[in-house]
Chain A
Amino acid sequence: MKKIIAVIRREFVERVRTRAFLISTILLPVFIVLMAVLPGLMMSGSDRASRVAVVDASSVGLGQSVSQAMLTERLGDGPDTEARYSVQVFPATAANLAAVRDDLIASTGFSSKKQKDGWDGVLVLTDDTLASGKLAYYGSNVGAMQSMSKLQRSVSNALAGVRLGKSGVDAALVKRAMAPADMDTTKVSDGKLTGQSGEDSFLIAYFMGFVLYISILLYGQQTMTSVIEEKTSRIMEVLTSSLTPFQMLLGKVLGVGMAGLAQMAIWGGSVFLVSSQRAHLAGLFGMSADAVHSFPIPSMAPGLLVVFLLYFTLGFLLYGALYAAIGAMCNTIQETQQYAVFVTMSILVGFFSVFSLIKDPTGSLGVTMSYIPLFAPFTMPVRWSLSSVPPLQLALSLGLMVLALLACVWLAARIYRTGILMYGKKPSWRELLRWIRA
């Protein structure tokens, strides 16, 4: 036991001390912050107030109604937020419509620095607009789907109001009738509200799968590489004379694993910090608080956190043992590819199954995969987060995981024992079987 601890400590300390660890530890949170902030930044970029010129060639003063409808649009939810549009109506007649329009277009699409009183867009309303709903918009931001659909909705609302008003409906009534629906989604589990929104559930599921995927690939490969390094540096020969393969394997897998978990903890901590301080951070980045809230960083329910950590640890160790065994079989990194591809593939299958699970968390695919130890660490936390998992299924899946882990460590230790000193020779599958049996 003392020896295993010595191996664990060595693996952990030597890994944590490296520059690569430091760099990846610092850069990933930066990446996380960017991930959290960038969509907000991008949204707020396209969401700034725009100056729209409304050319009204209709005979019923359609421009007035449309501009009024547009002026009620705000950039955010609160009453004190900035108006989405600043609108100016240019009356025109059928005769000079083209001239007025072209004149305005000539001062459209410049950046505000270049031409302060330029337009972001020109909206052209005619009599035809009221009759058939046809209208034209010329602008610099026509590619921004969201902005366009918002504009279209404003105009539609205004048109509907005008049409209803023409049919004699009271303006106040029209306004009430047109009030938009606003739906909040909340997840229910075991007949209780979890407080998670649907969007949150998705994000958590995606996040968990991603973290496991990245960490297994990163640290599993590291376990494999470090076994190979030990073989090429021949330190193995000194170690095998004082340590058993099981001690070396377990120490290595746990040591590398702990380095990984330490990094995760640092990252987890920084995510927590970012999410609790995001309003403050947003200020630093010059964004409106609203833009940040449009990209929520969900918090995990304690039960889910426990399930996730349990599966994360088990999965991490299981894949670590597999990678270590592959390292023991091979002499160079290139050689490992032949075997490692199977492991990588099951990681990928596990990870991508998360996406189909998100769509159908209670389906038979998810249930089956939670019983396969190589996939369970991906699927089970997601199922737990998106639906309610029967306790029996959870217990069975965890039990299978533990069994598979033990079997895998045993198997890896057998291969390790023989493979560790097999320099310069790649074993065939038959030889591999013999090593395991030996």
Chain B
Amino acid sequence: MPLPSVSVESVTKRFSGHTAVNRLSLEVSAGGIFGLLGPNGAGKSTMIRLIMGILEPDEGRVSLFGSAHGSRKLSARIGYLPEERGLYKKMKVLDHLIFLGETKGISRADARRRAQAWLERLGISEWALKKVEDLSKGMQQKVQFAGALLHEPELVILDEPFSGLDPVNAQVMKDIVVEIAASGRTVLFSTHVMEQAERMCDHIAIIARGETVVSGTVAQVKADFGGRHVALGFSHDKSRAETILADRSLIARVDDYGASAELQMADGADPEQLLAALVHAGVGLRRFEVVEPSLHAIFIAKVGADAAVAHAGAAA
């Protein structure tokens, strides 16, 4: 059993009165993609800053690669993309990447070569000699992304890596993340977009209010949650479905998206029963599928929609 890349043991962090992270434990084993999920203000960024040693925990212990040295000593092995993106605005893109590489301990010539390769790969090589401030936000984010990965770290920690990216660029970044994991390295990233994590992650931890709600492999989390779930797509006459969906003997929970919905069947109720009822009522169906519960549904069920919303509003 190799040492875990990241091990967080019962860590607590308080900020002037309010507890951002409360006795939180998690373990990221080497290799694969680990998703740290949660609504805004759940404590994801605080957790990542604690892991990076930017913040000191009030209680508990963080160790990286089984060593308690802290990220700075191990920085050559870690790549970090903070939530708050920051670059020197007046610096030229290539110079900036070289500088970031140098702070990770790679030689200047090596950093230059790798920076050029990364810019090429991200399709922004023609911007290499432009100032950072002349780039669009999306491009700046790509540059920062490259900066975090330039030194080929074995552990990559990304705080909300896909936020603020258009679908095309998000796709490029996603491919890179998947490729890093495929090469046997470890990726830990945080996101509040459950669907994304669901598709990419091997392991996840959902946190809310600074505490772990659920964690494990995606399959395990879904299996543990249990229940039967149905995904519906409506084509017409959705209003006729309302009484059926409100029937608690048939359906335990509805997650209504308007044109579609995700349902959790009540104990003892069959999806066939539901389908029959819907067809009988004359509801136009585009889709009817018995599915695994989505992480989103699990999250809502575990945390409670109200709590998630309220918390998202309260924290920053």
Footprint of B on A, CB under 8 Å? 2-3, 6-7, 10, 13-14, 18, 230, 233-244, 421
Is A238 a contact of B75 with CB atoms below 8 Å? no
Query: Is B147 an interface position by the 8 A CB rule?
Result: yes
Closest to B15 in A: A425
Is A237 a contact of B82 with CB atoms below 8 Å? yes
13 pairs across A/B with beta carbons < 8 Å?
Answer: A2-B102, A10-B95, A14-B91, A18-B90, A230-B86, A233-B89, A234-B84, A237-B80, A237-B86, A238-B86, A238-B147, A240-B54, A242-B104
A356 to chain B, nearest CB (A): 42
Interface size on B, residues (CB 8 A): 30
Is B91 a contact of A421 with CB atoms below 8 Å? no
Closest to A244 in B: B72
Chain B residues near A242 (CB, 8 Å)? 72, 75, 103-105
Q: How far is the CA of A381 from the CA of B52 in the complex (A)?
A: 47
Given the known interface contacts A7-B103, A14-B91, the answer about A241 and B72 at a Cβ–Cβ threshold of 8 Å is yes
Is B86 a contact of A421 with CB atoms below 8 Å? no
Q: How far is the CA of A240 from the CA of B70 in the complex (A)?
A: 11
Given the known interface contacts A233-B86, A244-B72, the answer about A239 and B103 at a Cβ–Cβ threshold of 8 Å is yes
Is A6 a contact of B91 with CB atoms below 8 Å? no
**Interface residues of B: mostly helix, strand, loop or mixed?**
loop
Chain B residues near A236 (CB, 8 Å)? 86
Chain B residues near A230 (CB, 8 Å)? 86, 88
Q: How far is the CA of A13 from the CA of B72 in the complex (A)?
A: 25
Given the known interface contacts A10-B99, A233-B89, A241-B71, the answer about A3 and B53 at a Cβ–Cβ threshold of 8 Å is no
**Interface residues of A: mostly helix, strand, loop or mixed?**
helix
Q: How far is the CA of A1 from the CA of B49 in the complex (A)?
A: 25
Chain A residues near B102 (CB, 8 Å)? 2-3, 6
Given contact pairs A6-B102, A238-B147, enumerate 14 new A-B contacts (beta carbons under 8 Å).
Answer: A2-B105, A3-B102, A6-B108, A14-B91, A237-B82, A238-B86, A239-B103, A240-B54, A241-B52, A241-B53, A241-B75, A242-B75, A242-B104, A243-B103
Given the known interface contacts A6-B103, A233-B89, the answer about A238 and B80 at a Cβ–Cβ threshold of 8 Å is yes
Is A3 a contact of B103 with CB atoms below 8 Å? yes
8 Å CB interface, B136-165 against A: 144, 147-148
Is B82 a contact of A238 with CB atoms below 8 Å? yes
Is A241 a contact of B87 with CB atoms below 8 Å? no
Query: Is B85 an interface position by the 8 A CB rule?
Result: yes
Query: Is B55 an interface position by the 8 A CB rule?
Result: yes
Closest to B56 in A: A438
Chain A residues near B75 (CB, 8 Å)? 241-242
Query: Is B47 an interface position by the 8 A CB rule?
Result: no
A206 to chain B, nearest CB (A): 36
A-B pairs with lowest CB-CB distance, top 9: A234-B86, A6-B102, A235-B86, A234-B84, A242-B75, A237-B82, A242-B103, A233-B86, A241-B80
Given the known interface contacts A14-B90, A18-B90, A236-B86, the answer about A241 and B105 at a Cβ–Cβ threshold of 8 Å is no
Is A233 a contact of B87 with CB atoms below 8 Å? yes
Chain A residues near B89 (CB, 8 Å)? 233
